[in-house]
Structures are given as C-alpha cells and as structure tokens.
Chains A and B, each alone.
Chain A
Amino acid sequence: AQKVTQAQTEISVVEKEDVTLDCVYETRDTTYYLFWYKQPPSGELVFLIRRNSFDEQNEISGRYSWNFQKSTSSFNFTITASQVVDSAVYFCALMGAGNMLTFGGGTRLMVKP
C-alpha cells in the first residue's frame, strides 16, 4: 500500500519569509513518481512538479525548489521569499503502477502581508 504524509496541516508566514513544506511517502514500488500540486481558493489543482524515483537531483524553478531524498523517503518543497499569492493548499502525491495518485492530507499555507 502507498501512503503520503504531510505532517504540517497549516503554516502561516509573513511575506518574504522562506517556507518549507514537508512530504514523506511510503511505497513498495521501485519505480514511482512524486508530485506537488497547488490548490488556490478557486479549487483547481495546479500541477507544479513531477519527479521520478530514479532522479534525485534537486530542482529549482524561480522561487520554488524541491529536495528529493530517497534515503529518507522525503520530497520537500521550499518557497523562497514567499508572496501573498502563494497562499493556497499544497498537496504532495505519489504515483506508482496504474497511474493512480495517492495524495497527502495537504498543507494550507497562509502568507500574510
């Protein structure tokens, strides 16, 4: 069985602070994919990144960066210099065989001006 845990249910920061969202996963699959999605108040799920289990390179995209550590089964997401527009619920998800996603519980990020 697969499982994704986002221990932080809610985080509140002040604009321009850096913030890291944690994600820990469990799977028996040797090949799998990890995702982060952003869900703003409007409700749609916005794809942010996909990582496969064989690629442990960290990735940076603008103010966003991701740290994948297979040894600790973690795929953490950092927002640098947070902005009010970053306020949303962020979901980490795991896809093994079958193309079905297992989601974490989500982390609600509130960025205050």
Chain B
Amino acid sequence: SAVISQKPSRDICQRGTSLTIQCQVDSQVTMMFWYRQQPGQSLTLIATANQGSEATYESGFVIDKFPISRPNLTFSTLTVSNMSPEDSSIYLCSVADTKRNTIYFGEGSWLTVV
C-alpha cells in the first residue's frame, strides 16, 4: 500500500490566518483527494487533485477558501484560507491505488482555530 505523509500533524491557528497542509506519497499516483472531518462527524470530500489539471471541488467548497496545488505525481498541498473556528477539523489526504481499486489515507492534520 502507498505510504502517505502529511504535515503538519497538528496545529493551532489564529482566526484570519491561512495554513498550508502538505501531502507526500511514496509512489506516483494519478488521483489524490482531500477530505475534511469536522469534530464528531464523518468525512466529506473537499476536492479531487489530479496532476496537470485544476482541482475539482465538491459542492460547498470553493477554490478561494481551499486552494490546492498538485505540482507532481507524489505531492499535493491544501491551503485553508482566512480561517475561522468553523474550520477546526481533521484534514485528510488520500490517494487512489487504481490497480487495487483501493483508497489509502494519510495520518491527517488536526487544525484548531482559535
């Protein structure tokens, strides 16, 4: 299975600031995804990030708030912009292993906005 590393693992942020989360994969993958998990809730897909194209955002998520970069097949970043306490969540990066039709997740980044 793919090994997925996320940074930071945890952070406490001031409202109004922005934070960039990094996701590094140990193998080349075509499809990467970013999910948000608000406290006590399930996971919600923010966007799909494919290398060489603009990210595709799900309903309720916009590029100005969650800009995503995908510069190569092993790396992606998600920025949470102009944060408010409602953005306090776990943000998870995931990749599709298309040979095994399986989705693997990183360890998650716990953000608390104060």
**B45 sits at the interface (CB 8 A):** yes
Q: B83-114 vs A: 1/0 string, CB under 8 Å?
A: 00000001010101010111111111010000
Residues from chain B with a CB closer than 8 A to the CB of A99 are 31, 33, 96, 98, 103
- Give complex CA distance A93, B103 in Å: 10
Q: Identify which of residues 1-57 in chain B touch chain A, using a CB-to-CB cut-off of 8 Å.
A: 1, 31, 33, 41-45, 48
Residues from chain A with a CB closer than 8 A to the CB of B102 are 33, 35, 47, 50
Given A35-B103, A99-B31, A104 and B108 contact (CB-CB distance below 8 Å) = no
**Are A45 and B92 in contact (CB-based, < 8 A)?**
yes
- Give complex CA distance A95, B106 in Å: 18
- Give complex CA distance A98, B96 in Å: 10
- Give complex CA distance A10, B90 in Å: 20
Residues from chain A with a CB closer than 8 A to the CB of B43 are 45, 91, 101, 103
Rounded to whole Å, the gap between the CB of A93 and the closest CB of chain B is 8
**Are B33 and A100 in contact (CB-based, < 8 A)?**
yes
Residues from chain B with a CB closer than 8 A to the CB of A45 are 43, 92, 94, 105, 108
Rounded to whole Å, the gap between the CB of A68 and the closest CB of chain B is 15
- Give complex CA distance A50, B98 in Å: 13
Rounded to whole Å, the gap between the CB of B59 and the closest CB of chain A is 12
**Tally of contact residues, B, Cβ under 8 A:** 24
- Give complex CA distance A100, B44 in Å: 10
Residues from chain B with a CB closer than 8 A to the CB of A105 are 41-42
A44 in complex: contacting residue of B1, B96, B100, B107, CB < 8 Å: B107
**Are B42 and A101 in contact (CB-based, < 8 A)?**
no
**Are A101 and B107 in contact (CB-based, < 8 A)?**
no
**A64 sits at the interface (CB 8 A):** no
**Are A101 and B110 in contact (CB-based, < 8 A)?**
no
Q: List 29 A-B contacts (CB under 8 A).
A: A33-B102, A35-B102, A35-B103, A43-B90, A43-B107, A43-B110, A44-B105, A44-B106, A45-B92, A45-B108, A47-B1, A47-B103, A50-B100, A91-B42, A91-B43, A98-B48, A99-B98, A99-B103, A100-B33, A100-B45, A100-B48, A101-B33, A101-B43, A101-B45, A101-B103, A103-B43, A104-B42, A105-B41, A106-B42
